[in-house]
Amino acid sequence: MNSSTSTLSKSEKNWLKATLLAGGSLTVMAAATIAPAQPKISVAFSHVKDSEFVAQLLLVLPSLVIAMTAPFVGYAIDRIGRKQILIGSLILYALSGTAGYYLNDLWYILVSRGFLGMAVAGTMVTITTLVADYFEGKERNQFMGMQGAFMTFGGIIYVILGGLLAEINWRLPFLIYGASLLVFPLILKHIFEPGKAVKPTGFTGKAPLPGLRKMIYWVGLIGMIIFYMVPVQIPFYLAEITPVGELEIGLAIAAMTLCAAPAALMFQKLKEHISYPLIYALGFGIMGLGYLVVGNAYSYAQVVVGLMIGGAGFGLMIPNATVWLMEIAPAHLRGRMIGILNMAMFLGQFLSPFVVKPLIERTSIGITFGTMAFVMFGMSAAFVLSSKYFTELMQKHELNA
């Protein structure tokens, strides 16, 4: 453990970890919490042109704003500090997230979702950077697996609760964002500012391994475009296959995150035996298999099975990207590099409906899921073939560090 946490008692360390886990749970599926309410929102605002597509934008607009603001958050926390930005982000999270409960104009609700994106960017980038500040090596890998599992369990709770509340009224799921107020006192008490990182002698202003960093960013972008088909398209896909309620929609989406959690917990053990590229290969391969099942499904149960398989693959990829980037990130550039990774991933979430919409219009949602399965099989094969190259690159980096 880093020197900034070495003086803490066991109880204090446990509270610190619990606080980071609780804060991180607010970010995953933050936008998708209202996914089960999409059909009802489009009906409630049916007088608005293209209300169905605007309802989808409510889901993905936060992702665009996160993508736009995450690099600036990363720069700010490297320059100003972590805790102040985290506190402000949690307050904004509660205010903007719950706005959909009382706003009566669909466009105003859309604007409030933009502010939610700013809040999620501040929360996610800061907490991820703090994890890198507080922990290192095997302990960091283990905690990132725990965080991935905790975030996915949080996503399950939020989406299922969103489905239950949407059954009553489409506005009620927006109240879930008030959960940030429960985390607020924990942040105040247990989060502390780590020591300021000092630039190494002869620092040129450039981070190491630019090619590898760009690859991690691009994989995060593409992976999220594919993953976010689930909360955006599954509600409408299920409506085509079989009549289901909002709760069933929420449970189907939650099934994917349910299986992502144990996969994330396995990350540390897996990393002890295989390299980062091979974990990517395994993750994309499993996720592709799940999407292939979804694309050929004829019942609600088959869709759920496919999403569970896909979730297991996705659960490996998120900690893999973050930990790999942390390993090559200098401490004084950590916030900025993590901010760019978050920008790439959330830009992928925003772009998802735009990228797949033309294919869906020409074919169907099912065929689009099947097509994306083969895209992921191709990415899996590419990582297997390039594994030796990346392993040698990392070895050279460690020797020169």
Q: pLDDT tens digits, residue range 186-209?
A: 999 888 888 654 444 444 445 667
Q: How far is the C-alpha of 77 from the C-alpha of 355, rounded, in Å?
A: 32
Check residue 215 and give its pLDDT: 93
297: left (phi over 0), alpha (psi -120 to 50) or beta: beta
Q: pLDDT tens digits, residue range 81-98?
A: 888 899 999 999 999 999
Residue type, 28: V
For the whole model, what pTM was predicted? 0.76
The terminus-to-terminus CA distance of the chain in angstroms comes to 19
Q: How far is the C-alpha of 283 from the C-alpha of 277, rounded, in Å?
A: 10
Q: pLDDT tens digits, residue range 29-78?
A: 566 688 778 888 888 888 888 777 888 788 778 878 888 898 898 888 87
Query: CB burial class (10 A; 0-12, 13-18, 19+) of residue 300?
Result: middle
- What domains are there in the chain, each with its CATH number? 10-191+207-400 (1.20.1250.20)
CA distances 314 to 32, 151, 260, 279, Å, are 16, 13, 6, 11
